[in-house]
């Protein structure tokens, strides 16, 4: 049996992904040395798992469903552009996600569920964001001299309803990764 590359994410509705993609157009057209995330792949990562044996995916999905079943769906706002570690030396360009208590609890529920399978907790604090792109390995800080000005042009404010957490498979290819939902864990709450 082989392995698959997995992560746990909150996927956005198609219309929200399209709106984010449209809002980030000034960044993509600026010729920055960035590998942009394709529109269908825009998501909020809750936990990256890496390479996992295929037969673990089913039990992982069931554990996620159990872990989030008591959580209620909630609204989450998206706005603000930024970069890690900074706009002057970006590694990851992102759209901001509201630091919502329900999202923090969801991330903790996910960490607990996957922790039972041996996945260790992240040492750095959870910083919710939507990755728009990653700087090329050979990019220089001077390549991003205008990023602060460009960032001002990225105006976006959205509100999404979070109703599920997805176990995702990432398949690497020449045109970048392709993501497939392996399991959707619904936030059932008081339904």
- Please say whether the dihedral angle defined by the alpha carbons of residues 129, 131, 136 and 140, taken in this order, is positive or negative: negative
Annotated catalytic, 43? yes
CA 107/CA 112 separation, integer angstroms: 9
- Contact yes or no for 122/51 (Cβ under 8 A): no
Nearest to 118 by CA among 46, 50, 172: 50
C-alpha 54: how far from its chain's center?
22
Q: Which two tokens stand for residue 94?
A: 């992102």
Catalytic entry in 43, 100, 127, 183: 43
Catalytic entry in 22, 100, 129, 183: 129
Annotated catalytic, 129? yes
C-alpha separations of 160 from 36, 89, 98, 108, 127 in Å: 22, 30, 11, 20, 18
Give catalytic residue positions. Answer: 43, 129
């Amino acid at each position: 049996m082989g392995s698959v590359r997995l992560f746990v994410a909150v996927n956005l509705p198609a219309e929200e992904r399209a709106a984010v993609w449209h809002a980030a157009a000034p960044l993509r057209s600026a010729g920055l040395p960035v590998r942009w995330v394709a529109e269908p792949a825009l998501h909020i990562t809750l936990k990256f798992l890496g390479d996992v044996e295929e037969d673990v995916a089913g039990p992982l999905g069931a554990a996620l469903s159990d872990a989030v079943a008591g959580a209620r769906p909630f609204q989450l706002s998206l706005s603000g552009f930024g970069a890690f570690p900074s706009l002057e030396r970006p590694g990851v360009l992102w759209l901001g996600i509201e630091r919502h208590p329900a999202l923090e609890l969801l991330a903790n529920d996910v960490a607990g569920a996957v922790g039972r399978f041996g996945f260790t907790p992240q040492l750095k604090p959870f910083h919710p964001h939507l990755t728009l792109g990653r700087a090329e390995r050979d990019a220089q800080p001077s390549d991003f001299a205008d990023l602060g000005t460009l960032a001002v042009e990225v105006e976006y404010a959205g509100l999404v309803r979070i109703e599920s957490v997805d176990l995702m498979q990432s398949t690497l290819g020449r045109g970048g990764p392709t993501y497939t939902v392996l399991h959707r864990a619904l936030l059932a709450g008081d339904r």
